[in-house]
Structure 1
Amino acid sequence: MDSEFAERLRAGEPLSAGWVSLGHPRVAELVALAGYDFVIVDLEHSPTSLETLDDIVRALELRGVPAVVRVPWNDAVELKRVLDIGVSGVMIPMVETAEAAEEAVDAMTYPPDGMRGVAGSRATNYGLDFAEYMEHADEDLVTILQIETVDGVENAGAISEVEGVDSLFVGPSDLSASLGVSGDWEDESVLGAIDDVLGESAVPVGSLAVTDEGVERWVEQGFDWVIAGVDSRSLLSASQSANEAFERAVERRDE
């Protein structure tokens, strides 16, 4: 956990996030070296296992970068297992109602206020720091909920007002699909829905950008934090650019 990170996120400070979908600790370490304020590790759309996540979190800790994990679903059992690894927070997909937000917060919180299971896990240094961790976990862990459907947009204000919700995240890919314009993040309906979330949210809001222009667009539109790049896309783009440079060089040589 990182109390300073939690405070900065909740305060709405401009923060940049890296994205790790390639399930290897060295990828996470490389992303951390880019200087991001925190890194999100994806478990929803990746084959990464909990065992691998364990090592990825260690790699991020080594570089002093908070690890937030996007879990596959709003599931108390899944959340419990990820939290026990010792992450700084979680991001939960497809939250559409205040009731679902309450369920997420409940799963993130220790009894008597919540239902998170108690164990001497890695998060507590295998029980050595059990009491200290339990004392601060509820306030130091961040809970980010994804708004990525029409219903989620309509209920964004109520979702954001649930006590324990620290931030919302607008997922442009799924939101555009929900609005019937899949993949078109520039469509007026998508941009209008984003403005609705930004206007209604009582907590900071983040989103994803995959280009430099996209980063600038979201910052100008009012997002508090932005995922500025995706590991797999960056690797593919750099590889394509290098190969294109080779092909151009060969063409010039053969002229």
Structure 2
Amino acid sequence: MDLPKNRFKAALKAGQRQIGVWCSIPDPNSIELLANCGYDWLLIDTEHTPIESTEAVALLRAAEPYPTTPIVRPGWNDMVDIKRLLDGGAQSLLIPYVQSADEARAAVAAVRYPPRGMRGVSGLSRASRFGAIKDYNIRAEEEICLLLQLETLEAIEHLDEICTIDGVDGVFIGPADLAASMGHLGNAGHPEVRAKIVETIQRLTAAGMPAGFLSADQEMARAAADAGALFVAVDLDTALLRRSAVARREEWR
């Protein structure tokens, strides 16, 4: 059995924009429904949800038959959490709240086997199809996509150095925490925050680093895409559900 190809990673390398949806509903049926909607990627969020690694694996299975790439966000830049998700079959990870080049290097080490990293070796994990993929431990790195989430002004100060670190495949700008760090808690749409987001995406693009962004505000999502963002989450499952439910209620009031 061959190592599964990571379509998302290949697309970023080719400079092809990838459109996604943020998923926080811990239900395989919800993931399967969205996986069949034509999006390039789905983000399974375990940072701001009660989703545990065992549940994340079930969500990965639900998405697997469809032409979309599931990306998992662990709760923290923690090598144990990262190891469990990788062993569970995740090939693409978005690491939250990376603040420095050292933290970026730690994330890289967590997804690589020794001697290039610190990932614990298991020969019979789901990632290796329980041993069916020949030389999985040697080849796994080829198809692992590591995305780092920069969410504060402090993190952005280290942007140039982070972009030079081998093993980083993309950098995602987190608008909500960035707004908070700029003194605009709860107001990611503030003009100063929008300007900083666009500026940062332009810097990433100029450095040749794929940039990512999330917003249910379609004007802001377009602005990020126009600035060069290659992987853009254009909505959230919970937001889609709530907007649709409220709109239908108003039709009948």
Runs of 4+ in 1 over 4 A off after TM superposition: none
Instruction: Report whether the alignment pairs 1:72 with 2:75.
Output: yes
Structure 2 stretches lacking a partner, 5+ long: none
Retained in 1: the 8 A contact 2:25–2:238? yes
Instruction: State how far apart, in whole Å, the 2-side matches of 1:171 and 1:10 are.
Output: 22
**Alignment equivalent of 1:220, drawn from 215, 226, 230:** 226
1:251 corresponds to which residue? none
Paired position in structure 2 for 1:63? 66
Deviations 1:147-199 (A, max 9, x none): 11011111112112110000000000000001001232232331332234224
Matching of residue 232 in structure 1 with residue 235 in structure 2? no
User: Counterpart of 1:26?
Assistant: 29
2:210 aligned residue:
204
**Counterpart secondary structure, 2:108:** helix
Asked whether the equivalents of residues 18 and 32 of structure 1 are also in contact (C-alpha less than 8 Å), the reply is no
Q: Which whole-Å CA distance do the structure 2 matches of 1:199 and 1:211 have between them?
A: 19
Report the equivalent of 1:250. Answer: none
Residue 40 of structure 1 pairs with residue 46 of structure 2: no
**In 2, Cα distance between equivalents of 1:111 and 1:89:** 19
Which moves more between the two structures, 185-194 or 111-120? 185-194
Of residues 195-204 and 96-105 in structure 1, the stretch that sits farther from structure 2 once superposed is: 195-204
Give the Cα–Cα distance (whole angstroms) in 1 for the partners of residues 37 and 235 of structure 2. Answer: 11
- Deviation string 1:95-124 (CA, Å, 9 cap, x unpaired) is 111111000000000111111111121010
Q: CA deviation at 1:130?
A: 4.9
- Contact preservation (8 Å) 2:202, 2:227: no
Q: Give percent identity, aligned residues only.
A: 34
Q: Distance in 1 between matches of 2:91 and 2:251?
A: 40
Q: How far apart in 2 are the matches of 1:139 and 1:213?
A: 35
* Separation (CA, whole Å) in 2 of partners of 1:194 and 1:157: 15
1:122 to 119, 123, 126: 126
How many residue pairs get aligned? The number is 246
Task: Please give the per-residue CA displacement for 1:232-252, whole angstroms capped at 9, x wherever unaligned.
Answer: 1111111111111111xxxxx
Within the candidate set 242, 245, 251, 2:248 is matched to 242
After TM superposition, the score normalised by the length of structure 1 is 0.91
- 2:198 aligned with 1:192: no
Superposed, which structure 2 residues align to 1:128-167 within 5 Å?
A: 128-131=132-135, 133-167=136-170
Query: Bigger CA drift: 197-206 or 212-221?
Result: 212-221
Question: Equivalent residue for 1:111?
Answer: 114
How far apart in 1 are the matches of 2:117 and 2:5?
21
Output the amino acid matched with 2:171.
Answer: L
Contact 2:42 2:71 in 1 (8 A): yes
SS at match of 1:113: coil
Question: What is the letter of the counterpart of residue 6 of structure 1?
Answer: K
Partner residue in 2 for 1:97: 100
Return the alpha-carbon distance in structure 1 between the equivalents of residues 105 and 219 of structure 2: 35
TM normalised by structure 2 equals 0.92
Distance 1:198 1:51 in 2: 34
For residues 198 and 222 of structure 2, what CA distance do their matches in structure 1 show? 16
Q: Which amino acid aligns with 2:98?
A: V
5+ long unaligned stretches in structure 1? 248-255
Q: Distance in 2 between matches of 1:129 and 1:222?
A: 36
Tell me if 1:17 matches 2:23.
no
Match of 2:51, SS state, is coil
